[in-house]
Structure 1
Amino acid sequence: MSKSKKIPLMFMGGLATSVWAEPRATYDVDGVIALEETNLEQFFNEAVKEGFDFDRNQPVKIIQGFPFITLIYPAKKRHKVCVDLFLARSGYAKEALSRLEEITFKGLKISVIAPEDLILYKLISGRSRDIDDVREILLTQKGRLKMKYLKKWAERLGVITQLEDEISSLFPDER
């Protein structure tokens, strides 16, 4: 995208799950981006210049209360990759973006969501694949997760029961 203006962005979804747990296949790219309403038009113009397309009728959609945009790359080829970017508008989304972690993969620095925030987003989503990912992250990152932060935000986001259920099923002696 635009090289003149850096927009904070971090990857999440299957890509980030592969960082914090056992790697798994994924067919799309998910991220969180600090993109304000006033910058959307310029962002979409830059995306089109780079070969992306998007839904021009409804560029911003809402899922589970979170606004997001979907970019499609390449715009005119048969095999496409969808890039879902959640807009960091809520206090929580901004907090999660501020906690991103940089990793290096084959010499390239990549910003990924912290494991605690990935767990929270996946609990909010609640899909079976996401709950499986939550379990894998909890197991793989055991002893390294910031549990106080995780439980605080799980409570605020309304997913504390789901989090506690997963923890107690994985670690019955530690509840």
Structure 2
Amino acid sequence: IAKELDKKSIPYMIIGGQAVLLYGEPRLTKDIDITLGIDIDKLDELLNITKKIGLLPLPEDTKKFVEKTYVLPEIDTNTSIRIDFIFSQTSYEKQAIKRSSKINIKNISVKFASLEDIIIHKIFAGRPRDIEDVKSIIIKNPGFDKVYIRKWLKEFDIVSSEKN
């Protein structure tokens, strides 16, 4: 997936459980979450890429589903692993993609969200599993950028408050 996204110059970063494996405690994760630095107007291009590598969209009406959720859920036909492609909508997500780190996996450069951005994503999601992930990341990586995290969490709080 990473190789094909890079070939087509589609900015991306791995988030979620796969990124937690990189920074925190190992745990079972059944899917791969990929935030994309493109808008949904590039859906057809993404579908061409994913079809080429053996992924199938899960929703019957893919376009309608993506327009409503900004997520393209797909399944790998060989491994049955689910991959969620998330179209970025905010300046924060676009900046987080730029801050991503390249990690070499089996001679392929794969971009993972920074540990600070994983912490932000997990706090924002706020489920018990996410909070446990945050704790494990902080314990294993005490030198993280607290100022960056506070800045974005404060901004999200303001944005969330304005919506209410």
Specify the alignment match of 1:46 in structure 2: 49
Are the equivalent residues in 1 in contact too, given 2:17–2:29 (CA < 8 A)?
yes
Pick closer, same or farther for the CA change 1:5–1:136 going to 2, 3 Å: same
Specify the alignment match of 2:155 in structure 1: 156
Specify the alignment match of 2:120 in structure 1: 120
Partner of 1:158: helix, strand, or coil?
Answer: helix
Cα separation, 2, equivalents of 1:21 and 1:91: 26
Partner of 1:132: helix, strand, or coil?
Answer: helix
Cα deviation, 1:32-74, whole Å, max 9, x if unaligned, reads 1112232111211332232211124134153xxxx32211111
Seq. identity, %: 28
Equivalent residue for 1:27, pick from 30, 48, 64: 30
Specify the alignment match of 1:173 in structure 2: none
Pick closer, same or farther for the CA change 1:23–1:56 going to 2, 3 Å: same
Cα separation, 2, equivalents of 1:93 and 1:3: 18
Partner of 2:25: helix, strand, or coil?
Answer: coil
Q: Name stretches of at least 5 consecutive residues in structure 1 with no aligned partner.
A: 160-175
Aligned residue runs from structure 1 range 46-125, under 5 A? 46-54=49-57, 55-57=59-61, 58-60=64-66, 61-62=68-69, 67-74=70-77, 80-125=80-125
Q: Does 1:147 align with 2:146?
A: yes
Q: Specify which structure has the higher proportion of helix.
A: 2
**Bigger relative contact order, structure 1 or 2, given CA contacts below 8 A and separation 6+?**
2
Cα deviation, 1:137-172, whole Å, max 9, x if unaligned, reads 111111x2111100000111129xxxxxxxxxxxxx
Are the equivalent residues in 1 in contact too, given 2:33–2:84 (CA < 8 A)?
yes
Deviation at 1:2, TM superposition (A): 6.3
Cα separation, 1, equivalents of 2:45 and 2:129: 34
- State the one-letter code of the partner of 2:76: Y
Cα separation, 2, equivalents of 1:3 and 1:145: 28
Specify the alignment match of 1:133 in structure 2: 133
Are the equivalent residues in 1 in contact too, given 2:23–2:137 (CA < 8 A)?
yes
Cα RMSD after superposing both structures: 2.0
Partner of 1:30: helix, strand, or coil?
Answer: strand
Q: Looking at CA atoms only, which structure, 1 or 2, has the larger radius of gyration?
A: 1
- State the one-letter code of the partner of 1:131: I
Are the equivalent residues in 2 in contact too, given 1:122–1:134 (CA < 8 A)?
yes
Aligned residues: 151
